Amino acid sequence: MHRKEHEDRSIETFGNPWTEIHKFLEQYFEKYWIDHRIVLHHQQGIELVMRKFGEEARAVAEQHIAEGDYPFLKDN
């Protein structure tokens, strides 16, 4: 799923695109392409998002990871 799609889903669900959270979670995409998910698309990544953006960012990060192409990484 591309960042714009994540943002659109965030608008539908949360009323805000939360662009900064999606950029944070996707920050390694250019370097690692599909494997970028290994870096932040899991529980520790969600915790980092919460530290950086606050507790309200948890649901956004969880949705981002769950709706990605490899949602099984969310439990790592």
Residue 59: closest CA among 16, 5, 1, 3: 16
* pLDDT surpassing 70 at residue 72: no
End-to-end Cα separation, the chain, in angstroms: 20
Summarised one tens digit per residue, pLDDT across range 24-69 is 988 766 665 565 566 677 888 899 999 999 999 999 999 988 887 5
Residue 2: closest CA among 53, 49, 69: 69
* pLDDT surpassing 50 at residue 76: no
With tokens 């990871």, the residue in question is: 65
| pTM score above 0.95 | no
What gap in Å lies between CA 18 and CA 70, rounded to an integer? Answer: 21
